[in-house]
Amino acid sequence: MADPEEEKKLERITPRVNAMMRQALGREVPFELEWASVYTFVCPRRSRSEPPGRLRSEPGLEADFAMVGWLLML
């Protein structure tokens, strides 16, 4: 698993943003980073012994799914 503190460093973020800009716009666009964060989530898994149906949720998982849904609407 990646180290969140390392992934928030400017030297890790800048190449990724530049690559996304080149892919989307065909060129790099000057930008200034104001804030960086690492979002993590837990993917629920079903054990082989569990019957099909609803997954059991971990505490806070609903909030994670709500956040992902909100971010996808942006």
65 vs 39 pLDDT, higher one: 39
Q: Record the pTM.
A: 0.48
Which secondary-structure segment (H or E) carries 68? Answer: helix 61-73
State mean pLDDT over 15-31: 89
Structure confidence at residue 73 (pLDDT): 65
User: DSSP E strands: which ranges in 1-74?
Assistant: none
How many residues can be counted in the chain? 74
Structure confidence at residue 28 (pLDDT): 84
58 vs 43 pLDDT, higher one: 43
